[in-house]
A and B are shown apart, each in its own frame.
Chain A
Amino acid sequence: MNVTSLPTVDPSAVAPPLDGVRVLDFTHIVAGPFCTRILADLGAEVLHVETQTRTVGVGVHLDRRDVRVDRSKESITLNLKHEAGQAVASRLATVADVIVENFSSGVMRRLKLDYESLEPFNPGLIYVSMSGFGHTGPRRNWTSMNMNLQGYSGLMLVTGAEGDPPTSVSNSWNDFIGGLHADFAILQALVERRRDGRGGYMDLSQAECSVATLGPLVLSSAVNHQDPRRMGNRSSSIAPQGCYPCAGEDEWCAVSVQNDEQWSALTQAIGSLALANDPRFTSVEGRLRFHDEIDEQIGAWTGDLSKEEAQARLSALGVSAERVRRADGVVNADDAGHVFSPLLVPGASKPDLAAGLPFSLGISETLAPKPPAPIGHDTRMALAEWIGLTDAEIDELETAGALA
């Protein structure tokens, strides 16, 4: 294939950035599917390769579709253990702009779907592997999941206060971080491909993505030979800052006093002349030093108030404060949750909520979330439109079990 015959994207500034870009998606669980769904939001045609033959396990769910990982994509089923199924996948790869996969080391090579096998037939192919630790190095064969990477990356031991056990965030944080790094890399690679017409291979390590987000602390530890202090909810430069208990079970209000004026306002809100007049607290240095004592006083005051009331009283006086919201407090509020829109999953009784992109492009369109396609919904379309198979050829593959 020569350079001029490479697939190109639509040269209209109004079209979505990835309009005309074909993504062949071999991802599963969360990190990879999150990456490719963002590409779909940016206008790419994402063909998710799935199978009916895989046993049920983590991240494999034949009986239901998940808005968060399956939405906005086309779905094709291929039996990659079947020679003809593999051959079809290889042919689809010849007309793809981008392949994304997040299998463990060696899987795609065994299926003859690794970059080296595909590149001779599609030199413009941009191929992204996004395994836990990358496909090189002494830990290339380690398996990982989100929680492991929260631990490995250092996140769990920089979150929380000194002496706390490891502290996680209770969602797939590292999957999102890895997926977004892959998106950034793919967007950059598409521009570089325009210079020379050639694609290439990118071996992304999800662990590296997570560690990078803590790069400053890794660097300081390398120089200082000691771990940074775990700050909990406090700041190194302003005080007081914390998350204070409010009336009710597991109800809290975050407060972050940005300057001396806000401190004065806080003491007014609390109605504490003792705090206001204590010379130890007039400077931020003093407030940092006597933070525990101040926290007790704030906590005693917030403890009698609802979190809404605490926030309202503080905000009215110009103190930075925000109630700790749970999911209901995000979606049922006027000032939050606008990035979500209802999306009805086929077969579900009530709509789910799907997040769109948290940014807008002034000219180029981006796409709102679309409901997940039923598994295999686009198999015939893709085989016909991507690689020109006839109905008879598709029937033959189906009969042979290659499309299961």
Chain B
Amino acid sequence: MPNWVKGNNVARILDLSPHAAIYAGRLLAEAGHDVIRVEHPAGDAIRRLAPYLGGKPHIEYGAYHQFFNAGKRSFALDTSTSEGLEVFRHLAATSEAIIGLPSALNAEAFHAEQPRLVLGLLSNDEIPEICQYARSGMLALTGQPGRTPMLMGGHVIYAATGLWVGVAMASALLVQDLTGTGQIVTINVQQCLEVFNEQAIGTYASTGRLSNRRGYRGAITAVSGAFQCSDGWWMLSVPNGADRWSRFLDWVQDPVLAADPSFAEEEHRNVAKDLIFDRLDRWSMTLKKVEAVDEAQSQGITSTPVSTPVDLADDPQLVHRGFLRAENLPGFGSVQVPAGAIASLFGRPISLAPSLGEHTTC
């Protein structure tokens, strides 16, 4: 069945997002909106965030720019000048929404001038990424047990907070469509991350227990987690139940595990985790990850590869569903470009990221 293809709702959205909101504009662009990235004539900071396509620093080839600004238009504007602010006001007058605001403008006064606008603003976004993550309690939960807590890689928390911004903006855009009324939307970046930490917070509140880092082992069943194999890592979770364990052993063919019938019980597997993991670690090194996962899934065992980004670049599932689409990237030829989860969901096209100021004169 084809996914939703309509695209009958196109709002113009000015995107002045800082890093913590940058994914919101991308989501709105994937949904089909006309998102205009308003950036300084020298190019904004996201263009300078490594890594770079081709490996060398260049404001057009930053990977974060290329992904997060895809689907948008670029309007180069110096909003620190009175002329620039005047142009910005003109742009705003023909827009439905704005994310971020030039620092020279007062949000309430500006919105009073144009009350039908949805104006998205961030609060508590002033501290650096790793400090924000530490304050939310999430840093304490990321990493290997007993070792240094780790910031989530790939600046993924910018995408996570941007996702909340996207939901907040979409809520206000729905109200605007229903009523013709705009409003100021305030997204608290610190709280965005704290909500993600709700499980540990709730556990502490209700039991007094503090959650710990788990590294690469799981917690849902006794035998779950990532295992190293001959070409990387894969992950499995052996379900509860004696019959499932027996079937799993038929595959593993390990005499030590097979010799202890008590392991049929999840409770005993929990007690003997170290031994079981030691045996499975050895067994796993004889496997290749994709074959191992295919075999596990065929047995009804929840399993996946532990992917590297290179693995994902031509992942057959992502290609099949149109999440990855072959595009001609200038200077690099045909490349499988991530269209994004929303573009894939709605079956929408998404254009490549614009060059700096490409649409200033439009």
Which residues of chain A come closer than 8 Å to B321, judged between CB atoms? Answer: 134, 136-137, 205, 208
**A237 to B46 CA separation, bound complex (whole angstroms):** 12
Which residues of chain B come closer than 8 Å to A201, judged between CB atoms? Answer: 1, 3-4
Q: Does B204 contact A (CB under 8 A)?
A: yes
Name which of A18, A223, A355 has the most chain B CB atoms within 10 A of its CB.
Answer: A223
Q: Does B316 contact A (CB under 8 A)?
A: yes
Nearest A residue to B189 via CB reads A358
Q: Mark A226-246, 1 if CB is under 8 A from B, else 0.
A: 111011110011000101010
**B196 A176 Cβ-Cβ under 8 A:** yes
**B210 A358 Cβ-Cβ under 8 A:** no
Instruction: Determine chain B's interface SS by DSSP, over half rule.
Output: mixed
Task: Return the contact of A187 from the options B111, B174, B205 (Cβ within 8 A).
Answer: B174
**B148 A243 Cβ-Cβ under 8 A:** yes
Which residues of chain B come closer than 8 Å to A7, judged between CB atoms? Answer: none
**B131 A321 Cβ-Cβ under 8 A:** yes
Interface residues of A in 1-31 (CB under 8 A from B): 9-13, 17-18
Q: Contacts A202-B3, A243-B139, A361-B185 hold; do A151 and B307 have CB atoms under 8 A apart?
A: yes
Q: Does A351 contact B (CB under 8 A)?
A: yes
Which residues of chain B come closer than 8 Å to A191, judged between CB atoms? Answer: 9, 173-174, 177
Q: Does A305 contact B (CB under 8 A)?
A: no
Q: How far is the CB of A339 from chain B (nearest CB, A)?
A: 4
Q: Does A68 contact B (CB under 8 A)?
A: yes
Q: Contacts A188-B9, A331-B201 hold; do A144 and B304 have CB atoms under 8 A apart?
A: yes
**A151 B305 Cβ-Cβ under 8 A:** yes
Which residues of chain A come closer than 8 Å to B214, judged between CB atoms? Answer: 168, 170
Q: Does A274 contact B (CB under 8 A)?
A: no
Q: Contacts A224-B54, A325-B135 hold; do A188 and B170 have CB atoms under 8 A apart?
A: yes
Which residues of chain B come closer than 8 Å to A180, judged between CB atoms? Answer: 163-164, 166-167
Interface residues of A in 126-168 (CB under 8 A from B): 133-145, 147-149, 151-161, 164-168
Q: How far is the CB of A228 from chain B (nearest CB, A)?
A: 5
**B306 A152 Cβ-Cβ under 8 A:** yes
Which of B35-43, B62-70, B81-89, B253-261 forms contacts with chain A? B62-70
Q: Does B345 contact A (CB under 8 A)?
A: yes
Q: How far is the CB of A102 from chain B (nearest CB, A)?
A: 14
Q: How far is the CB of A240 from chain B (nearest CB, A)?
A: 11
Q: How far is the CB of B14 from chain A (nearest CB, A)?
A: 18
Q: Contacts A139-B317, A361-B168 hold; do A258 and B128 have CB atoms under 8 A apart?
A: yes
Name which of A209, A216, A331, A352 has the most chain B CB atoms within 10 A of its CB.
Answer: A216
**B140 A364 Cβ-Cβ under 8 A:** no
Name which of A168, A187, A324, A335 has the most chain B CB atoms within 10 A of its CB.
Answer: A168
Q: Does A169 contact B (CB under 8 A)?
A: yes
Q: How far is the CB of A238 from chain B (nearest CB, A)?
A: 8
Which of B72-80, B270-278, B333-341, B354-362 forms contacts with chain A? B333-341
Nearest B residue to A252 via CB reads B149
Which residues of chain A come closer than 8 Å to B220, judged between CB atoms? Answer: 58, 145, 147
Q: Contacts A215-B67, A222-B313 hold; do A171 and B172 have CB atoms under 8 A apart?
A: no
Q: Mark B167-195, 1 if CB is under 8 A from A, else 0.
A: 11011111101110101111110111011
Nearest A residue to B177 via CB reads A191
Q: How far is the CB of B61 from chain A (nearest CB, A)?
A: 9
**A205 to B318 CA separation, bound complex (whole angstroms):** 10
Q: Does B52 contact A (CB under 8 A)?
A: yes
Instruction: Determine chain A's interface SS by DSSP, over half rule.
Output: mixed
On B, residues with C-beta under 8 Å from A are: 1, 3-4, 6-9, 23, 27, 31, 48-55, 63-64, 66-68, 111, 127-144, 146, 148-156, 159-160, 163-168, 170-175, 177-179, 181, 183-188, 190-192, 194-206, 210-216, 218-220, 224-226, 228, 233-235, 237, 240, 297, 300, 302-318, 320-321, 323, 329, 332, 335-338, 340-342, 344-346
Q: Interface residue count for A (Cβ, 8 Å)? A: 144
Q: How far is the CB of A69 from chain B (nearest CB, A)?
A: 10
Which of A78-86, A93-101, A192-200, A378-386 forms contacts with chain B? A192-200
Q: Contacts A151-B235, A254-B131, A363-B175 hold; do A331 and B204 have CB atoms under 8 A apart?
A: yes
**A355 B194 Cβ-Cβ under 8 A:** yes
Q: How far is the CB of B306 from chain A (nearest CB, A)?
A: 4
**B183 A218 Cβ-Cβ under 8 A:** no
Nearest A residue to B203 via CB reads A327
**B159 A254 Cβ-Cβ under 8 A:** no
Which residues of chain A come closer than 8 Å to B335, judged between CB atoms? Answer: 219, 222-223
Q: Does A396 contact B (CB under 8 A)?
A: no
Q: Does A404 contact B (CB under 8 A)?
A: no
**A243 B317 Cβ-Cβ under 8 A:** no
Task: Return the contact of A211 from the options B146, B219, B318 (Cβ within 8 A).
Answer: B318
Which residues of chain A come closer than 8 Å to B304, judged between CB atoms? Answer: 142, 144, 148-149, 151-152
**A184 B50 Cβ-Cβ under 8 A:** no
List 7 extra interface pairs beyond A211-B312, A331-B201, A353-B201, CB under 8 A: A135-B1, A138-B316, A187-B170, A203-B1, A252-B139, A254-B130, A320-B131
**B27 A184 Cβ-Cβ under 8 A:** yes
Q: Does A265 contact B (CB under 8 A)?
A: no
**A352 to B165 CA separation, bound complex (whole angstroms):** 26
Q: Contacts A167-B215, A218-B312, A361-B183 hold; do A187 and B167 have CB atoms under 8 A apart?
A: yes
Q: Does A283 contact B (CB under 8 A)?
A: no
Q: Does A73 contact B (CB under 8 A)?
A: no
Nearest B residue to A176 via CB reads B196
**B142 A167 Cβ-Cβ under 8 A:** yes
Task: Return the contact of A190 from the options B135, B172, B174, B313 (Cβ within 8 A).
Answer: B174
**A338 to B201 CA separation, bound complex (whole angstroms):** 12
In the A-B complex, the 3 residue pairs with the closest CB atoms: A158-B153, A358-B191, A327-B204
Which residues of chain A come closer than 8 Å to B133, judged between CB atoms? Answer: 254
**A159 B153 Cβ-Cβ under 8 A:** yes
**A202 B170 Cβ-Cβ under 8 A:** no
Which residues of chain B come closer than 8 Å to A222, judged between CB atoms? Answer: 313-314, 335-337
**B128 A256 Cβ-Cβ under 8 A:** yes
**B312 A168 Cβ-Cβ under 8 A:** no
**A237 to B129 CA separation, bound complex (whole angstroms):** 13
**A364 to B128 CA separation, bound complex (whole angstroms):** 31
Which residues of chain B come closer than 8 Å to A207, judged between CB atoms? Answer: 317-318
**A219 B66 Cβ-Cβ under 8 A:** yes
**A361 B175 Cβ-Cβ under 8 A:** yes
**B310 A225 Cβ-Cβ under 8 A:** yes
Which residues of chain B come closer than 8 Å to A217, judged between CB atoms? Answer: 51, 63, 153-154, 309
Name which of B225, B233, B341 has the most chain A CB atoms within 10 A of its CB.
Answer: B341
Q: How far is the CB of B302 from chain A (nearest CB, A)?
A: 5
